[in-house]
Amino acid sequence: MADVCFKFLVSGRVQGVWYRDSTRRQAEQLGIIGSAVNLPDGRVEVIACGESQAVEQLACWLHQGPPAAKVTAVTSESIAIAPPTGFSIG
């Protein structure tokens, strides 16, 4: 069961640079479930549910992303949802 769930909105050059798949791999290594989805405005929305410390580690990683990404901002908010199963990208 997830301790916390957060929604992150990541801005910058984050589409077309393997950001979502890299996020999925990071999340799975940390035992986080959720999703990473491209938004029409060029941002990526990440839903991350898991242990507080693991979600904090992912949050730090989101500010950097994969090598080709150029993250300019990350916003976050705690959300109350039924945790998803696994981690999906869309």
Domains in the chain: boundaries: 4-81
In CATH, what class is 4-81? alpha beta
Q: Does residue 24 carry a catalytic annotation?
A: no
From the candidates 13, 24, 25, 38, which is the catalytic residue? 38
Q: Which residue is catalytic, options 13, 20, 24, 43?
A: 20
pLDDT score at 81:
87
Instruction: Find residue 75's DSSP bridge partners.
Output: 9
What does the pLDDT average to over 13-17?
A: 96
Query: How confident is the model over 22-53, as pLDDT tens digits?
Result: 999 999 999 999 999 999 999 999 999 999 99
Helix H, strand E, coil C: the string for 25-71 is HHHHHHCCEEEEEECCCCCEEEEEEECHHHHHHHHHHHCCCCCCCEE
The pTM (predicted TM-score) of the whole model is: 0.94
12 neighbors 75 (Cβ within 8 angstroms)? no
pLDDT at 2 over 80: no
**Any catalytic annotation for residue 38?**
yes
With a cut of 70, say whether residue 1 has pLDDT above it. Answer: no
